[in-house]
Structure 1
Amino acid sequence: MLLLWYHCDGTGPAWAVPEQPEIITGDWVFRGQTEHFVDAHIQEIPENAADTAHLAFLHGPAILSGSDLRYTKSRLWDFMKHVWEAEWQPEPEPHRHCSRMQLQHTATIFGKRFPLLDLSVSARQVGPGLVFLNFKHAFLGHGIILQTVTPLEPLLQNVVHKIYYQKNVPAIIPKFILRAECIQFERDVTIWNNKQYLPKPLLVCEDAGIQKHRRWFAQFYSERSRRPSGPKGDLDW
């Protein structure tokens, strides 16, 4: 993977990208990637980590129901649910350019927990456009998904997910994980493609994480940064 630094003020790199030891040593190998184009402001995508309230509604329905939001609530797949517990926090100095989300996933089938699908995920964001999603499964091993968000236009982002997994685990396992992640991500894409970025949105107490995330993300702007302008009134359509 080739990563380039760009700053609108022409300043040099302010931090280094961490290496993943298991990839360097070859213990984890490349098992596939997905690519999406998202019609949204770049900040919308990482802000999802702090919007924990959306997990149950958007990502609760079974992945078997697909990514088309018109059918995710279908009774055909209602017997299975995904249950999420998440917490997002910015990191302190000297890593204030990083943040971390701890995510615990369980699944229920006919209302009963199915432990085989328990999954722990630690998502570390480095800067505005790079995320390391480390995940652990009790039986299916460990791996990582690298997410990169590259702006192509002010409101057009290229998002790539690359998965690396233990080389001693059959390739079908990480490919299934990547497919499941892709379905969930495409549900988010539908929302992003049909929403407007508001610099000062109306938030309720359950959205406190979003405001906290916006304060953290503000460090990646400078006086010369291009920012989209919101509507004149908070309630304008």
Structure 2
Amino acid sequence: MPFHLAFKIRKDTSSNVIDMSKSNECLSICTSRNISTKYRKALYFLMNGNQPSLLAFDARAPSNHSIAAALATTPSKVEWLLQEIPENGADVAHLNAVHSPSVVTGLAEKYPFLLNIIGSHVWSATWNKGEGHIADLTLTHDYKIMKCNLFHIDVTVQQIGPGFVRLFLKTPLGPLLVSQSVTPLGPLLQKVIHRVFSPAYNAPWAALVVYNEAYMFERDVAIWNNKIFVGAPAYVKADKTIRAFRSWFSQFYSENSKSFKDAIQNPLEW
């Protein structure tokens, strides 16, 4: 299994070079590497047992997104493989299968004849492999009541490395940025935190998005926590993007990565 750590780095105001061997420039664990940057960066170390590989990326929120308006959801625990969490983006078919029921009320699930009156979420998405450790997803959302499509949202998603995702939302009430970080706590235990950033004037809307996003995410958690591992699954045509995602994600595994069998048999060896 891939293992990563996220770091925040303070930039030396007198230079564009961060010397990571100096503890006063790091907010967390440091190494002997240097990176050249103009911005605050978030870093991933992929632990392969030897010299770790480093993935650096611009971690800034858009300039019009106030950090003061940042809201975080309650961390979620996922008792399954780390890979399954970002794979959701490539599993386009699951969006309408799992996330179509309204977050407003669950009555439509109990009484299907109310579906057109209460409304439902309608999704469409396209996943693409990017360069190196980056993958991209374009997503659209509409809330459909009767024959009316309401509350259109365009989302641009960027998967960075094995465990960090940024979602840029263009909504009728203003722009939002949602970040998702996944931290392994054990071979089959992941900690997931979502943070929502918005312009300060839009904080009430961001708070509502936090609630809705957490509600949707818990639907996925219920599935992940009850999955059964299949070593060589049979793919159908609709699974084309899932297969492409798994090929892309394989770069984050190494010869030292735990196998699923080892994780099950030796859960305490971590």
The interval holding the TM-score normalised by the smaller chain is 0.7 to 0.9
Quick check: 1:145 aligned with 2:184? no
Of 74, 81, 99, which residue of structure 1 is paired with 2:135? 99
Q: Which residue of 2 aligns with 1:195?
A: 227
Identity of aligned residues (%): 33
Q: Secondary structure at the match of 2:77?
A: strand
Query: Letter of the aligned partner of 1:201 in structure 2?
Result: P
C-alpha separation in 1, matches of 2:101 and 2:256: 42
Cα–Cα, structure 1 residues 153 and 167, in superposed 2: closer, same or farther, change >3 Å? Answer: same
Residues 1:208 and 2:240 aligned together: yes
Report the secondary structure of 1:216's partner residue: helix
Query: How far apart are 1:27 and its partner, in Å?
Result: 6.8
Equivalent residue for 2:94? 54
Residue pair 2:66, 2:197 contacting (<8 A) in 1 also? no
Q: Where do 1:68-79 residues align within 5 Å? A: 73-75=109-111, 78=115, 79=117
**2:170 equivalent to 1:136:** yes
Partner SS, residue 83 of structure 1: strand
Aligned to 1:110: 146
Deviations 1:11-59 (A, max 9, x none): 2343203222426984773133231001110011111111011111101
Q: Which moved more, 1:75-84 or 1:190-199?
A: 75-84
Q: TM-score, normalising length from structure 2?
A: 0.75
* Aligned twin of 2:26: none
Give the corresponding residue for 2:128.
89
- 1:40 to 1:34, Cα distance in 2 relative to 1, 3 A: same
Gaps of 5+ in 2: 1-5, 9-43, 263-270
Q: Which has the higher contact order (CA 8 A, sep 6+)?
A: 1
| Structure 1 residues 35-54: aligned runs within 5 Å | 35-54=75-94
Alignment RMSD:
2.3
Task: Choose the corresponding residue for 1:124, options 158, 168, 186.
Answer: 158
Q: 1:233 maps to which residue? A: none
Match of 2:251 in 1: 219
Aligned CA distance change for structure 1 residues 197 and 109 (closer, same or farther; 3 Å): same
Counterpart-to-counterpart distance in 1, 2:138 and 2:124? 8
1:134-191 deviation per Cα after TM superposition (whole angstroms, max 9, x unaligned): 11113x111111101111111111000011111122x220011111111111000010
Structure 1 residues 72 and 101, CA, compared in 2 at 3 Å: closer, same or farther? farther
1:64–1:21 distance in 2 versus 1, CA, 3 Å:
closer
CA distance in 2, matches of 1:167, 1:2: 26
> TM-score, structure 1 length as denominator?
0.84
Q: 1:25 to 1:56 in 2, by over 3 A?
A: closer
Is contact 1:121–1:133 with CA below 8 Å preserved after alignment?
Answer: yes
Cα deviation, residue 123, structure 1 = 1.2
Which runs of no fewer than 5 residues in structure 1 stay unpaired? Answer: 231-237
